[in-house]
Amino acid sequence: MTLPIFIPGDDPGPDFVGLLDRLGVGAFEPTVPFDAAQITHGTTVLAIRYSEGVLMAGDRRATSGHLISHREIQKVFPADSYSGVAIAGAAGPAMEMVRLFQLQLEHYEKVEGTALTLDGKANQLCQMLRNHLPAAMQGLAVVPLFAGFDPRAGLGRLFQFDVTGGRYEERDYAAIGSGGLHASTVVKLRHHDGIEADEAIDVAIEAIFQAADEDIATGGPDIVRGIYPVVALITADGFERLDDDDVAARTGSLLERLRGAS
């Protein structure tokens, strides 16, 4: 494969989206009229900062209007080795944005010989959201969460965004999607300074469970099908997704506790 050659002043450098534009391949194609009820949407995702890093979690349900379109969709992804991105909104454009974001971070590191800072990665995601704004105004909104371990600060950090590309760093936690309000309420009541990974995982699982109990677009644990929320930890050791068996065992303990309290 031959790499494209640009004249001085026309080289997009480490900007992968700029490279696509130079080659005439739009990263986000123009949209056409559509039936909003037929568009697949994904909810609910959250992030929690804890003592060793940051946790990200998401339910597995996607809906089209009032129908369940998918039961096992993944909404939490590694952005690179030390950061992750979670999505809510129109599933198709969101998945495409995640893939493009992953490629952008990889492309930058190859061209520049060093990885972007965590703030730099968040800024790249802001730019992609701004590029996506015309589609968002037509009903294909994408709203991500971004989190990662910052080696300079020695701690986990998390960022929330809006559809216009606005970036807002949160101190302890964030939750978005149709069940985000219910999930964030659970986290708010249980989060505390110095929370450890083990407790943060249990808080995240309960937050998604309670969100699913109130919001039809959020999927709770499906014990019959063996479908559980995706939970990932990001620390100085990198991005690590928890095994489904671990999440299932913790979900079982949560259900036993809730039964005992009723």
Q: What is the pLDDT of residues 20-74, one digit of tens each?
A: 666 665 555 544 454 444 555 668 999 999 999 999 999 999 998 888 999 999 9
pLDDT computed for residue 34 by the predictor? 45
Count of the separate structural domains present in the chain = 1
Quick check: is 165 in a domain? yes
For residue 155, the surrounding DSSP H or E stretch is strand 155-161
Report whether 146 contacts 122 (CB < 8 A).
Answer: yes
Quick check: is 123 in a domain? yes
Q: Can you tell me which residue has the tokens 């991105």? A: 85
pLDDT computed for residue 19 by the predictor? 65
pLDDT computed for residue 32 by the predictor? 45
Residues with catalytic function: 43
Report whether 140 contacts 171 (CB < 8 A).
Answer: no
Quick check: is 62 in a domain? yes
pLDDT computed for residue 49 by the predictor? 98
Range(s) of the domain holding residue 191: 39-261
Q: Which residues of the chain have a pLDDT value below 70?
A: 1-42, 262
Quick check: is 135 in a domain? yes
